[in-house]
Every structure is written in structure tokens, then in C-alpha cells.
Amino acid sequence: MEAFLPQILKVLGIIWINVILSGDNAVVIALACRGLPQDKRRIGMILGAGVAVALRIVFTVLVAALLSTPFLKIVGGALLLWIAVKLLAGDDEEGSVKETDRLLHAVWTVAIADAVMSLDNVLAIAAVAQDSTFLLVLGLAISIPLIVAGAALIMTLLDRVPLLVWAGAALLGWVAGEMLISDPWLIGQLGQELDHKAEIPSAIAGAFLVLALGYVIRQRTATDEA
């Protein structure tokens, strides 16, 4: 059991990050299929989600493969930090999605919108999965149907228990710290042993930075609105 614990934790991490970052994606699915006839809505949601899952798996595998390129993990880690802080700041810049009464058009809308909106998910999940395509696919396969089926419940839960959002943002900061320090260029500069020792401190620093910046931005926003 102990041998499988790290893999189980990675799968849980993938599921949690995907759920935290995919609330708006679930709304896209609902909006795109809202105009369909009642008997086609469920089919549209299932087909749209299925195509979105396939595209996201492909994109995530490609991103995971590219993460071996020097400096890319540094850029990706910095981007993940920004995504985590943005999550706490509550900055929502997602575009609107038009409803349609045509099934194939709705499916296409869901797939394209999900692909465009999923850079944060793809980057974070690739970072957690690291070199394991199996864990990546398993985590996505479990989490995306949960998001589609329980979109309203998930969003209500996150609204009522804000601590879950903060925990998800801290996890993103942790992953970003690990990603930054594991960049091939940094490993070459620091050496494998020193870089490995710096992995946990870097992850802690990433989580702390996200929480600190998120708190400061929220306090400043509350002051401006007062």
C-alpha cells in the first residue's frame, strides 16, 4: 500500500486541481446546451464533455512532454503562481458563450470553449502528473465527469466554504514551486542533489507566496470598495 500512496496522492491532486479550476468550464457546458430541446440537452452535455476530455488529454500530454525543455518549467511555474493568485483575487475574465438549438453546434461550442479556457488546468495537471501519462489520464477521466454531473453542487460548495478555494490555490502554489525548481536548467546550475533538497522549501515558498498575495489583493479590493 505504501508503494502506491504517492500515486494515489497525485491522482487526488489532479482531481482536486481540476475541480477547483473547472467551475467556469462546467458553466460553459450548461450555457452552450441550454438552447437545445429538452430531449437533446443530456446528449449534448455528454458528447460535449467527451470531446472536451479527449482534447484536454491530448493537450496535457503535449504540455507534459514539452516540460523537459530548459526554462519552460520556470515560465510554467511563474504562470501557475499567477493563475493561483488570480483564483484567490476572484478575477473572472471568461468570455460569454452563446446557446444554440443545434446539437452538433452545441458540442463544438463546448469543445472549443473548454480548450480555450483550459490552459490553467492543463499546465497544473501536467505539473502534478509529471512523467506519468497513466496518472494524467486517470485523474482527468475521474474529475471531468464529476465536474459535468455536479457543476451546480461544486460551485455552491466552493461559495459556501471559501477555505476550499484557498486550499486549492495553496496547492497550485506548491505545484508551481516544485515545477520551478525542477527546471532542467536550474538542475544543471545547482546540481541534482542540491536541487532535490530545495524542492520542498521551494514548494512551501510557492504556497506561501500565493496565499500572501491573495490576502493582500483581497484586502486592497475590500478597501477600495468600502
The three cell numbers locating residue 94: 471568461
Report the mean per-residue pLDDT for the chain: 75
The backbone region for 33, taken as left when phi is positive above 0, alpha when psi lies in -120 to 50, beta otherwise, is alpha
- Which of 160, 152, 157, 156 lies closest to 27, judged by CA? 152
Instruction: Kindly tell me the burial class for residue 166, based on how many C-beta atoms sit within 10 Å of its own C-beta (0-12, 13-18, 19 or more).
Output: middle
pLDDT at 119 over 70: no
pTM for the whole thing? 0.65
d(CA 210, CA 219): 14
Top-ranked range on mean pLDDT: pick from 31-35, 94-98, 138-142, 145-149: 138-142
pLDDT of residue 206: 92
- Which of 220, 223, 182 lies closest to 199, judged by CA? 182
Q: Which residue has the higher pLDDT, 91 or 223?
A: 223
